[in-house]
């Protein structure tokens, strides 16, 4: 029997929120949806995942974990940027262990970094390729953050490539195949790190985006884009290997990218961010990671950059 799928109206009733809020959650990538024609649907397992990720850590503690109460409430940390399965796992495990409420907003790498720059979040999750230097993340960080206290930690290296149906029935192997008349593409939104990488590769290969059917069809996270392939609504998307594995799709690797977490220290969040960094660098967190197909965590927790202000305020 197929899994039940809900309309945005039904999800709004379940969560007691407005339909507009449901669409905003989908747009930001916090709630994953798929389309049937022009109709949006959300699967039951996705509702359970969303509820689990947004549940306050204080309701999910073991007897030995610290408790938050009216005199010692769980502290709030905002994380914005790119969606990733390891980021989901990190926010859940760190929230439990450290009695922190970590609120993720999956809005894309560029917008996440700009929110950090504007002081609207504490952590940015990014994988942005600079097309000139072909270096990840640091060219953008160095340009934006001059006087702020910033520290960059490596989360993982990820495999990016073509996600296609099982058996690769359209025989798609390189970027030139995206321009074929029998191939339908689905893209990621502007500002997504995956979109940066795709556009850089298209430029290098001399391919005009208007030659690709479906280039303007945008989705806000890897699973939403990959679901087009699993449902036969498109032939190929560009994304991470783990998304293909989650949906039983085939994957053709193209590039390895660096996925980093950028921490911006303030007087208010310094201790919480220090605790989060130590937790991410701990052996217990590394041991908790499973299902790592498409990830290289050999540099997990490595400091790749920090400003002089950070060096003065933290020993991490």
Do the beta carbons of residue 109 and residue 128 sit within 8 Å?
yes
Inter-CA distances, 311 with 26, 101, 152, 185, 314, Å? 38, 26, 12, 45, 6
Task: Grade residue 56 by pLDDT with cuts at 50, 70 and 90.
Answer: very low
| 34 within some domain | yes
The pLDDT tens digits of the residues spanning 165-180 come to 999 999 999 999 999 9
Cα→Cα distances 123→73, 132, 153, Å: 20, 26, 11
In a domain, 61, yes or no: no
Domain boundary among 256, 276, 304: 256
**Structural domain that includes position 49:** 1-55
- Give 68's pLDDT tier (boundaries 50, 70, 90): very low
Identify the weakest region by mean pLDDT among 4-13, 223-232, 242-251, 253-262.
Answer: 4-13
Query: Quick one: pLDDT at residue 316?
Result: 45
The token duo for 267 is 């007087």
Is residue 243, in this structure, part of any structural domain at all?
Answer: yes
**pLDDT value at 289 more than 70:** yes
| DSSP for the chain, written as a single string | -PPPEE-HHHHHHHHT--HHHHHHHHHTTSS--EEETTEEEEEHHHHHHHHHHHS-GGGS--TTS----SSSPPEEEEEEE---HHHHHHHHHHHHHHTEEEEEEE--HHHHHHHHHTTS-SEEEE--B-TTT--BSHHHHHHH-SSSEEEEEEEEEEEEEEEE-TT-TT---SGGGGGSTT--EEEEPTT-HHHHHHHHHHHHTT--GGGSTTTT-EESSHHHHHHHHHTTS-SEEEEEHHHHHHTT-EEEEEEEEEEEEEEEE-TTTHHHHHHHHHHHTSHHHHHT----TTEE-TTTT-EEEE-HHHHHH---
pLDDT value of residue 164: 98
Q: What is the pLDDT of residue 55?
A: 57
**Bigger pLDDT: 75 vs 140:** 140
Boundary of a domain, candidates 256, 280, 295: 256
Query: Is 295 within the bounds of a domain?
Result: no
72 domain-assigned: no
Confidence of residue 57 (pLDDT cuts 50, 70, 90): very low
What pLDDT does 75 receive? 82
In angstroms, rounded to a whole number, what is the distance separating the alpha carbons of residues 53 and 60? 11
135 domain residue, yes or no: no
Residue 187: the pLDDT is 96
Give domain status of residue 252, yes or no: yes
Residue 272 has pLDDT above 70, yes or no: yes
Domain boundary residue among 39, 55, 71? Answer: 55
**pLDDT of 39 above 70:** yes
Q: Is residue 45 situated within a structural domain?
A: yes
pLDDT in the model for residue 23: 77
What is the tally of structural domains in the chain? 2
Using the 8-state DSSP alphabet, how is residue 136 labeled? Answer: B
CB neighbour list of residue 135: distance below 8 Å, 6 or more residues apart: 129
Q: What is the pLDDT of residue 67?
A: 41
Task: Return the axis-axis angle of helices 193-204 and 109-117, rounded to nearest 10°.
Answer: 120
* Measured distance CA(155)–CA(159) in Å, rounded: 13
CATH code for the domain in which residue 212 is found: 3.40.190.10
Structure tokens at 282: 């701990």
Query: pTM (2 decimals)?
Result: 0.79
What is the mean predicted confidence (pLDDT) over 16-35? 74
């Amino acid at each position: 029997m197929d899994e039940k799928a809900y309309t945005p109206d039904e999800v709004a009733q379940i969560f007691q929120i407005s339909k507009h809020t449901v669409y905003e959650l989908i747009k930001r990538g916090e709630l994953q949806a798929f389309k049937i024609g022009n109709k949006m649907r959300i699967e039951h397992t996705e509702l359970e995942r969303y509820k689990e990720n947004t549940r306050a850590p204080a309701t999910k503690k073991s007897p030995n974990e610290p408790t938050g109460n009216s005199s010692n409430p769980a502290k709030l940390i905002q994380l914005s940027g790119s969606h990733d399965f390891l980021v989901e796992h990190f926010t859940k495990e760190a929230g439990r262990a450290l009695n922190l409420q970590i609120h993720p907003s999956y809005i894309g790498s560029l917008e996440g970094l700009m929110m950090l720059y504007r002081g609207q979040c504490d952590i940015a999750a990014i994988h942005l390729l600079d097309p000139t230097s072909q270096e990840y993340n640091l060219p953008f960080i160095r340009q934006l953050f001059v006087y702020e206290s910033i520290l960059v930690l490596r989360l993982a290296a990820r495999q990016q490539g073509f996600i296609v149906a099982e058996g690769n029935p359209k025989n798609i192997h390189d970027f030139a195949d995206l321009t074929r008349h029998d191939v339908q593409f689905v893209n990621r939104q502007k500002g997504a790190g995956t979109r940066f990488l795709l556009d850089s590769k298209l430029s290098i290969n001399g391919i005009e985006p208007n030659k690709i059917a479906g280039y303007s069809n945008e989705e806000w996270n890897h699973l939403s884009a990959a679901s087009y392939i699993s449902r036969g609504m498109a032939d190929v998307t560009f994304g991470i290997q783990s998304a293909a594995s989650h949906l039983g799709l085939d994957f053709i690797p193209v590039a390895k990218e660096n996925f980093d977490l950028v921490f911006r220290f303030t007087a208010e969040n310094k201790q919480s961010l220090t605790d989060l960094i130590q937790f991410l660098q701990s052996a217990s967190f590394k041991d908790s990671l499973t299902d790592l197909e498409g990830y290289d965590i050999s540099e997990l927790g490595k400091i790749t950059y920090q400003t002089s202000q950070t060096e003065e305020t933290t020993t991490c």
